C-alpha cells in the first residue's frame, strides 16, 4: 500500500498535537486528508505537493458527525486522535465533571465513530486506528477518569474488530497507546503535574522518559502502520519516541 493517493484518510483531532502531525504526514505521503476538529486551522501545503488536506470544522462527539463525514468522503482510513485534556489534580480535588470529561469526549467519539464504521460499513481493506494511552497499562492517578476512559476506548476498538470479523467486513481496527508527548495539549500538563509530584523539574522529569514522542514522529509511525499489510498488524501498539511496539 505504498501509493496513498486513492486512500482518503480522516484524522479526527487534527487541529493540533499528535493529530495534526498525523494529518500532515499522511498528506505528505500522498493521501487526500480530511482534518476534523472544532477549531479551524491552516495547514502547510504538503511537501512534494502529493496529497491534500481538507479541514472540516465539526464536533466529532456529535452523534451525527461520523455519518456526515463518512458519507461525504468515503474514507478508507480513519484515525481517532481527538481527546480532552484532563484536569491534572489528585482524586480528592476532582469534581465529577472534571473526572468524567475524557469519558464525555474520548469515549463518546470512539463509540459514535466505530459504530458508524460498522453500520455503513467502510469498504473491505479499510483501516481504523484509535488513540488510547500508555496510561492504560499503569494508571494515571493525577488525571481523574482518564486511564479508565482510555482503557474503554481500547475495549471498544476490540469489540468493533470482533463485530467486523463476525460480519466478514474486512476492516482492521488498531489501538495505539502513546507515551508522553510533552509538547502537546494532553502531554504538556501531564508532564508538569507528574514532575511536580515527583519533586523534579519538568526538564529532569522529561529527561528520564527516553526518546520523546513528537507529532512528527507520530505521523511517520502512523503512515508506516497503515502501509503495513493488514494480516501482520497487531490489535495494539505502544507509541513512543522510539516508534511503535507491538502489544501482546
Ligand atoms: N500527548 C500525550 O502525551 C498523550 C499520551 C497518551 C495518549 N494521548 C492521546 O493522544 C491523543 C492526542 O493527544 P494530544 O496531546 O495530541 O492532544 P491535543 O494536543 O490536546 O489535541 C487534541 C485534538 O483533539 C481535538 N478535539 C478535541 N475534542 C474534539 C471534538 N469534540 N471534536 C473534534 N475534535 C476534537 C482538538 O481540536 P479542537 O479543540 O479544535 O476541537 C485537537 O485537535 C488523545 O486521545 C490523547 O488522550 C496523548
Nearest-CA residue for atom 11 of ligand 1: 81
| CB 39 near ligand 1, within 6 Å | yes
List the one residue out of 110, 23, 20, 101 whose CA is nearest residue 65: 110
Nearest-CA residue for atom 42 of ligand 1: 13
* Helix extents (H) in the chain: 17-28, 65-73, 96-99, 101-102, 108-119, 135-138, 146-166, 187-197, 202-207, 215-227
129: which residues sit within 8 A by CB, 6+ positions away?
77, 78, 79, 80, 173, 174, 175, 176, 222, 225, 226
Ligand 1 centroid distance, CA of 17 (Å): 7
Q: Give the percent of the chain with pLDDT over 90.
A: 94
Ligand 1 centroid distance, CA of 187 (Å): 10
Ligand 1 centroid distance, CA of 172 (Å): 22
| CB 18 near ligand 1, within 6 Å | yes
Ligand 1 centroid distance, CA of 163 (Å): 27
Q: How far apart are CA 193 and CA 208, in angstroms?
A: 15
* Helix extents (H) in 100-227: 101-102, 108-119, 135-138, 146-166, 187-197, 202-207, 215-227
- 208-226 per-position pLDDT tens digit: 999 999 999 999 999 999 9
Q: How far apart are CA 50 and CA 31, in angstroms?
A: 7
Q: How far apart are CA 48 and CA 208, in angstroms?
A: 37
* pLDDT of 61 strictly over 80: yes
- 106-157 per-position pLDDT tens digit: 999 999 999 999 999 999 999 999 999 999 999 999 999 999 999 999 999 9
Mean of all residue pLDDT scores within the chain:
96
Q: Which domains does the chain have, with CATH numbers?
A: 9-246 (3.40.50.720)
Question: What integer is the mean pLDDT of 181-209?
Answer: 97
Tell which one of 82, 102, 104 to mutate to probe ligand 1, the residue whose CB is within 8 A of the most ligand atoms.
82
| pLDDT attached to residue 49 | 64
Q: How far apart are CA 228 and CA 248, in angstroms?
A: 18
Cell of 3: 501509493
Rg (CA), the chain: 17
List the one residue out of 130, 162, 122, 139 whose CA is nearest residue 239: 130
* pLDDT of 37 strictly over 70: yes
Ligand 1 centroid distance, CA of 180 (Å): 13
Amino acid at each position: 500500500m505504498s501509493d496513498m493517493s486513492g486512500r482518503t484518510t480522516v484524522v479526527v483531532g487534527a487541529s493540533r498535537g499528535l493529530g495534526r502531525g498525523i494529518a500532515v504526514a499522511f498528506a505528505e505521503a500522498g493521501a487526500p486528508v480530511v482534518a476534523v476538529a472544532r477549531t479551524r486551522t491552516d495547514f502547510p501545503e504538503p511537501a512534494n505537493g502529493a496529497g491534500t488536506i481538507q479541514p472540516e470544522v465539526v464536533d466529532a462527539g456529535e452523534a451525527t458527525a461520523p455519518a456526515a463525514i463518512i458519507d461525504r468522503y468515503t474514507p478508507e482510513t480513519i484515525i481517532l486522535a481527538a481527546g480532552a485534556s484532563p484536569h491534572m489534580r489528585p482524586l480528592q480535588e476532582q469534581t465529577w465533571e472534571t473526572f468524567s470529561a475524557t469519558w464525555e469526549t474520548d469515549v463518546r467519539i470512539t463509540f459514535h465513530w466505530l459504530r458508524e464504521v460498522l453500520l455503513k460499513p467502510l469498504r473491505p481493506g479499510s483501516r481504523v486506528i484509535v488513540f488510547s494511552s500508555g496510561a492504560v497499562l499503569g494508571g494515571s492517578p493525577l488525571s481523574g477518569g482518564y486511564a479508565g476512559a482510555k482503557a474503554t476506548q481500547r475495549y471498544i476498538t476490540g469489540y468493533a474488530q470482533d463485530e467486523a470479523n463476525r460480519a466478514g467486513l474486512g476492516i482492521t481496527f488498531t489501538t495505539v497507546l502513546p507515551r508522553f508527548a510533552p509538547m502537546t495539549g494532553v502531554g504538556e500538563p501531564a508532564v508538569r503535574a507528574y514532575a511536580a509530584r515527583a519533586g523534579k523539574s519538568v526538564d529532569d522529569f522529561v529527561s528520564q522518559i527516553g526518546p520523546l514522542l513528537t507529532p512528527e514522529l507520530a505521523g511517520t509511525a502512523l503512515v508506516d502502520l497503515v502501509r503495513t499489510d493488514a494480516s501482520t498488524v497487531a490489535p495494539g501498539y505502544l507509541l513512543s519516541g522510539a516508534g511503535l511496539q507491538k502489544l501482546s
